[in-house]
Structure 1
Amino acid sequence: MDVIELSKGLDTIWVVLTAAMILLMEGGFALLEAGFVRQKNAVSIIMKVFVDIAFGALVFYFFGFALMYGQDAGGIIGTTGFLIKGDLSHIALNITHETYWLFQCAFVIAVISIVSGAVAERINFKAYILLTIAMTGFIYPLAGHWVWSLNGFLGKLGMIDFAGSAVIHALGGFSALAAAMFIGPRIGKFSADGKVNIVPPSNLPLASVGAFILWFGWFGFNAGSTLSATNGTIGHIAITTMLSAAAGGATCILFTMFRYKKADPPMVINGSLAGLVGITAGCAFVSDGAAIGIGAVSGIAMVLVTEWLERRQIDDPVGAFAVHGISGSLGTLAVGLFAMPELTEGIGKGYYGLFYGGGWSLLGAQALGLVTVSVWGFVLTWGVLWLIRKIMPVRVSKDEELIGLDVGIHGVPAYSQEHDFLDYDRLRNSR
């Protein structure tokens, strides 16, 4: 075996393994969200995650990947590569197109999983399937094309988003915000006088395990984006990822102790995730110190935005917008400030941050790209839900919401130890 074939084999193994790590993050999403919502809605969370994986993978295979990475003339939308066939010669990688599809498929599944948490406990399951198809087949692929494809117009303008703070997290976060606003708060979350009623999480240990799984998978998310097992930046990417997540968690511990007089467990969980989201765009291009700063600012911003949403009576049960939308935005802009010349020299002249003498060009490109994908995600998600409402209810009935989506929609409770026998036919037919 020659060196070239060995290199291709190593890169293929690396990309497949990191894709599997990213896919394992769906287990993290499932546990995190199931722990944050009430016990009567745990099964509905799991079912939405299965929708993300099953429908997301098929849709991305049939046409999502083509729209995202196919040949194009105007930098807007791909037109080749449906079913991973046709002209994909412009994707010049050391791995096969099938391997690349697998890695990107894990990403697209993560995007819709962000949205699922914001509409937890009240979205119609059938409507969610249609939203998943729209997100994985059209909304995300086009945004990704603009930044990551060979001719994407935002990429040509100079935008850098190494592993997706904007394309995945800001897009997913602003889509989640649109969905939460469109569908409205859960029954009883806000009183008529504007008072915020706390909905206690059902299982914080479960949510914590989910966060740890997400943290683990993030090393595949970020380091895997090198697409090469021999890339010399893998170690640096891993350490900036670790430091930012740690800073997000540590800052939230201290900040909530100061603000609430107690360390707030859900905030600390989301603080670590905010640090992970924030570093995703610049993990390969910023220093260790900058990574700590990005994580710390992301953690504090997450707490403040969570409070702001509640004052606005926007119900986001798992903090999807505060974690992904805000931290993704901060991380995207941070590249324009902290990208180091010695770490971006392979990209091109002038691709470094304002604080390193790069001027305003990169920061401007980051801001333009961020606004573009965020507005795209918000507006298209709102529009898709509006269209779905013309076909079917987007929200479950009041009775289904009160009894819980597990029994009301899926006909089975998450925990049945209180029952010796269950009349499943009656449960399923009670919808």
Structure 2
Amino acid sequence: MNTKFLIGAAAFPAALVLSGPAVAAPVAEAAAPVADAVGGGTAYIFNTLLFLIGGFLVMWMAAGFAMLEAGLVRAKNTSTQCLKNIGLYSIAGLMFWAVGYNIAYPGFAEGALGLFGIGGTTYGMQSAGEADLEKGYSVASDWFFQMVFCATTASIVSGTLAERIKIVPFFMFVTVLTAVIYPVVVSWEWGEGYLDSVWGFSDFAGSTLVHSTGGWAALVGAIILGPRLGRYGPNGQINVFPGTNIPLATLGTFILWLGWFGFNGASQLAMGTVGDVSDVSKIFVNTNMAACGGVVVAIIATQLRYGKADVTMALNGALAGLVAITAEPLAPTVGQSVLIGGIGGLLPVIFVPLLDKLKIDDVVGAIPVHLVAGIWGTLIVAWTGDATLVGQLVGVLLTMVWVSAASAIVWLLLKITIGIRPSEEIELAGLDIHETGVEAYPGLANQA
């Protein structure tokens, strides 16, 4: 029975690819004769609505990250995680308005290298009653959509460094990340800078620009910060710190899954034609199926490896599948999307134990989910999309160098100056009492 099961499992990916799409090839081609049926002010309205609806779905992902992290940390640190998540979202909004947007979209001059630039003082806000019909959408709606992506990047860092970082230095790092580090990476691709103009790098909705950027910042922070007290013992011993609320973590995952339809779907950037709205629909399907593939593969992999399925790995399998498909959610067939998401779902099963062997403490598994799956999703675009493997690899490596170096400088400066870690006494007692003064679960705050 086991032999037949393994043979069938091995043949499954091939069957997905060979079976062809369950949804027809992009409807935009088939609908070309009527693609311009909607135009003028109506197209402007639909394009703007896409940004706004996509934006508030991605904003809702902030709640997903907060609930996921609150469920996976110990009771004594839950309020701190909630504060970090609402704080980082607000800081990201202010910094992207004041600085980040103009770095992300500087309007590089023709022929410029496109590595760094700063635009004017356009904050994406038209006056009351005004509309920029030449752009085809409200500039305020576009700014809002871009801003919530910025906040998502910061959310990734929060989960990795949970339970042993002080609030103030964390918020200071988020300030620099959202004002400068992330916007520079965005400018290279979505701002038509170096990666876009020189290498033809392609990242539809941000597997690298958003998720790997957050992943690199989290990895460097985890190395500099160190693991939680008691996490790793002598002789390679790994002590498990169970999360407080698995149902809450599951709810957070479903919220993130829902938000991802805005993340990927609205990255089509237009909904004013029949072709565009059909493509948005296909993006929804591929995004959903990649997550399904990630969950199923994670369940099978943990069942085979440990003799029992791991719910936290299943949750991360869903998220890793979503991250993997984000770089190109339109071009793949449904079968390819399941395969891409399925391999993404396998990555946390492989890399979570590897990080533990290296004594890199990632509380929620954000590094395998967002960094590793983000790299996988970016590179596989060379198979499913209009990009070269060399161009995609250059994008991954340049992002790694910039984000890692910049993050290391900021983390080290904070560590040397104000310190980034609480005392052992405070960490053991729980950050909630000392950092927020509010216990999430009164009476359980001293739970180990």
Aligned length: 394
Equivalent of residue 279 in structure 1, options 312, 316, 325: 325
RMSD of equivalent CA atoms: 1.8
How far apart, in 1, do the equivalents of 2:41 and 2:177 lie? 37
- Return closer, same or farther for 1:185/1:418 CA change in 2, 3 Å cut-off: closer
TM-fit CA distance, 1:40: 0.6
Gaps spanning 5+ residues in structure 2: where? Answer: 1-37, 126-132
How far apart, in 1, do the equivalents of 2:50 and 2:340 lie? 27
How far apart, in 1, do the equivalents of 2:184 and 2:158 lie? 20
TM-fit CA distance, 1:376: 1.7
One-letter identity of the residue aligned with 1:77? F
Matches for 1:97-246 after TM superposition, within 5 Å: 97-150=139-192, 152-156=193-197, 157-230=199-272, 231=276, 232-246=278-292
How far apart, in 1, do the equivalents of 2:404 and 2:52 lie? 32
Equivalent of residue 78 in structure 2, options 42, 47, 52: 42
TM-fit CA distance, 1:190: 0.3
CA contact (8 A) 1:400 1:409 kept: no
SS at 1:82's partner residue? coil
Deviations 1:336-391 (A, max 9, x none): 1222xxxxxxxxxxx35xxxxxxxxx111011101111222222111110111232
One-letter identity of the residue aligned with 2:297? T
How far apart, in 1, do the equivalents of 2:124 and 2:281 lie? 34
Deviations 1:47-89 (A, max 9, x none): 1111211111001000100000022343122321435179xxx
- Return closer, same or farther for 1:284/1:92 CA change in 2, 3 Å cut-off: farther
Alignment partner of 1:84 is 2:84:
no
Equivalent of residue 402 in structure 1, options 404, 425, 428: 428
Alignment partner of 1:17 is 2:53:
yes
Q: Who is 1:424 aligned against?
A: none
Q: Who is 2:407 aligned against?
A: 381
How far apart, in 2, do the equivalents of 1:244 and 1:123 lie? 33
Give the percent of matched residue pairs that are identical in Structure 1 and Structure 2. 35
How far apart, in 1, do the equivalents of 2:51 and 2:222 lie? 34
Query: Stretches of 4+ moved more than 3 A in 1?
Result: none
One-letter identity of the residue aligned with 1:59? M
SS at 1:99's partner residue? helix
Alignment partner of 1:338 is 2:384:
yes
Alignment partner of 1:328 is 2:412:
no
User: Which structure carries more relative contact order (alpha carbon 8 Å, separation 6+)?
Assistant: 2
TM-fit CA distance, 1:136: 0.2
TM-fit CA distance, 1:249: 0.2
Gaps spanning 5+ residues in structure 1: where? Answer: 340-350, 353-361, 420-431
TM-score (norm 2): 0.85
Matches for 1:243-254 after TM superposition, within 5 Å: 243-254=289-300
Q: Who is 1:65 aligned against?
A: 101
Deviations 1:101-124 (A, max 9, x none): 100000000000001111100111
Stretch moving more, 406-415 or 210-219: 406-415
One-letter identity of the residue aligned with 2:200? G
